[in-house]
Structure 1
Amino acid sequence: MNPAPKLAVIVTEFPKSTETFIYRDLVTFLEAGVELRLYHVAPYRAQQTLHGFARPLAARAVDLGFWQPAALLRALARRPRAVIGGIARMLWAYRAHPKIAAKSIALVPKALAIADDARTWGATHVHAEFAGHPATAAWLGHRAGGAPYSVSCRAHDLFRTQALLGDKLGEAQAVRTVSDFGRAFLQRTVPGMAARDIQVIHSSVDVARISPVETPPSTTPFHILYVGALEPKKGVGHLLDALVIAGNRLGDWRCTLIGHGPDADALRARAAALGLGDRVRFAGMQPFEAVAEAYATASVCVAPSVIGPNGRQEGIPNVMIEALAYQRPAITTAISGIPELIRDGDTGLLVPPGDAGALAAALLRVHADPAAALDMARRGRAHVANEFDLAVNARRQLALFFPETTPAAQ
Structure 2
Amino acid sequence: MLKPKKITVLLKGYPRLSETFIAQELLGLERAGFALELVAMRRPTDKKRHPVHDEIQAPVHYLPEYLHEEPFRVLKALWRVKSLPGFRTVMAQFFKDLPRDLSRNRFRRLGQAMVLVAEWPDQSDWLHAHFIHTPASVAFYASLLSGRGFSVSAHAKDIWTSKDWDLADKLAHAAWVVTCTKVGFDRLSALADRPGRVHLSYHGLDLDRFPPFDGQRPARDGTDPADPIQLLSVGRAVKKKGYDTLLKALAALPAMLNWRFTHIGGGDELSRLKALASELAIADRITWKGAMDQRDVLTHYRESDLFALACRITADGDRDGLPNVLVEAASQGLMPVSTTVSGISELFVDGENGLLVEPDDVAALASALARAMSDPDLRTRLGAAAEQRVRRDFDYRNSIRDLTVLFSRSQ
TM-score of the aligned structures, taking structure 1 as reference length: 0.90
Report the counterpart of residue 329 of structure 1 in structure 2. 335
2:81/2:117 contact within 8 Å kept: no
Shift of 1:277: 1.5
Residue 255 of structure 2 aligns to a residue whose secondary structure is helix
Q: Aligned partners of 1:160, 1:309: CA distance in 2, in Å?
A: 10
4+ long deviations beyond 6 Å: 1-4
Q: Let me know the Cα RMSD of the aligned residues.
A: 2.2
Report the counterpart of residue 176 of structure 1 in structure 2. 178
1:333/1:353 contact within 8 Å kept: yes
Residue 81 of structure 2 aligns to a residue whose secondary structure is helix
CA 1:340/1:142 → structure 2, altered by over 3 Å: closer, same or farther?
Answer: same
Q: How do 1:382-393 and structure 2 match up within 5 A?
A: 382-393=388-399
Report the counterpart of residue 284 of structure 1 in structure 2. 290
Q: Aligned partners of 2:355, 2:151: CA distance in 1, in Å?
A: 34
Report the counterpart of residue 53 of structure 1 in structure 2. 52
Report the counterpart of residue 228 of structure 1 in structure 2. 235
Letter in 2 for 1:296: R
Matched, 1:319 2:321: no
Q: Aligned partners of 1:131, 1:383: CA distance in 2, in Å?
A: 29
Q: Aligned partners of 1:339, 1:24: CA distance in 2, in Å?
A: 23
Greater Cα offset, 56-65 or 296-305: 56-65
Letter in 2 for 1:323: A
1:174/1:401 contact within 8 Å kept: no
2:3/2:408 contact within 8 Å kept: no
Report the counterpart of residue 133 of structure 1 in structure 2. 134
Q: How do 1:246-257 and structure 2 match up within 5 A?
A: 246-251=253-258, 253-257=259-263
Cα distance per residue 1:357-399 (max 9 Å; x no partner): 1111111222222222222122212222233211121121122
Report the counterpart of residue 381 of structure 1 in structure 2. 387
CA 1:392/1:137 → structure 2, altered by over 3 Å: closer, same or farther?
Answer: same
Report the counterpart of residue 30 of structure 1 in structure 2. 30
Shift of 1:289: 1.3
Greater Cα offset, 56-65 or 377-386: 56-65
1:139/1:168 contact within 8 Å kept: yes
Letter in 2 for 1:335: V
Shift of 1:15: 2.0
Q: Aligned partners of 1:135, 1:34: CA distance in 2, in Å?
A: 21
CA 1:239/1:165 → structure 2, altered by over 3 Å: closer, same or farther?
Answer: same
CA 1:383/1:116 → structure 2, altered by over 3 Å: closer, same or farther?
Answer: farther
Letter in 2 for 1:348: G
Cα distance per residue 1:343-363 (max 9 Å; x no partner): 111121111101111111111
Q: Aligned partners of 2:301, 2:11: CA distance in 1, in Å?
A: 27
Residue 77 of structure 1 aligns to a residue whose secondary structure is coil
Kindly, what percent of the aligned residue pairs are identical?
28
Q: Aligned partners of 1:210, 1:174: CA distance in 2, in Å?
A: 31
Matched, 1:90 2:97: yes
Q: Aligned partners of 2:93, 2:360: CA distance in 1, in Å?
A: 41
Uncovered stretches (5+) of structure 2, i.e. residues with no partner: 221-226
2:35/2:58 contact within 8 Å kept: no
Shift of 1:46: 4.6
Shift of 1:115: 2.8
2:8/2:38 contact within 8 Å kept: yes
Shift of 1:57: 4.0
Q: Aligned partners of 2:49, 2:57: CA distance in 1, in Å?
A: 8
Structure 2 residue corresponding to 1:164, chosen from 155, 163, 166? 166
Uncovered stretches (5+) of structure 1, i.e. residues with no partner: 406-410
2:235/2:266 contact within 8 Å kept: yes
Structure 1 residue corresponding to 2:246, chosen from 239, 243, 249? 239
Q: Aligned partners of 1:285, 1:9: CA distance in 2, in Å?
A: 25
Report the counterpart of residue 223 of structure 2 in structure 1. none
Residue 256 of structure 1 aligns to a residue whose secondary structure is strand
Q: How do 1:3-402 and structure 2 match up within 5 A?
A: 5-42=5-42, 44-57=43-56, 60-65=59-64, 66=67, 67=71, 68-78=74-84, 79-94=86-101, 98=102, 101-118=103-120, 120-162=121-163, 163-188=165-190, 190=191, 192=193, 195-213=195-213, 215-216=216-217, 218-219=219-220, 220-251=227-258, 253-402=259-408
Greater Cα offset, 294-303 or 72-81: 72-81
Shift of 1:80: 2.8
Q: Aligned partners of 1:319, 1:166: CA distance in 2, in Å?
A: 30
Q: Aligned partners of 1:247, 1:240: CA distance in 2, in Å?
A: 14
Greater Cα offset, 313-322 or 49-58: 49-58
CA 1:69/1:80 → structure 2, altered by over 3 Å: closer, same or farther?
Answer: same
1:217/1:374 contact within 8 Å kept: no
CA 1:114/1:294 → structure 2, altered by over 3 Å: closer, same or farther?
Answer: same
2:4/2:407 contact within 8 Å kept: no
Shift of 1:262: 1.2
Letter in 2 for 1:155: A
Residue 250 of structure 1 aligns to a residue whose secondary structure is coil
CA 1:153/1:280 → structure 2, altered by over 3 Å: closer, same or farther?
Answer: same
| Count of aligned residue pairs for this structure pair | 395
Q: Aligned partners of 1:389, 1:366: CA distance in 2, in Å?
A: 27
CA 1:35/1:317 → structure 2, altered by over 3 Å: closer, same or farther?
Answer: same
Q: Aligned partners of 1:3, 1:346: CA distance in 2, in Å?
A: 41
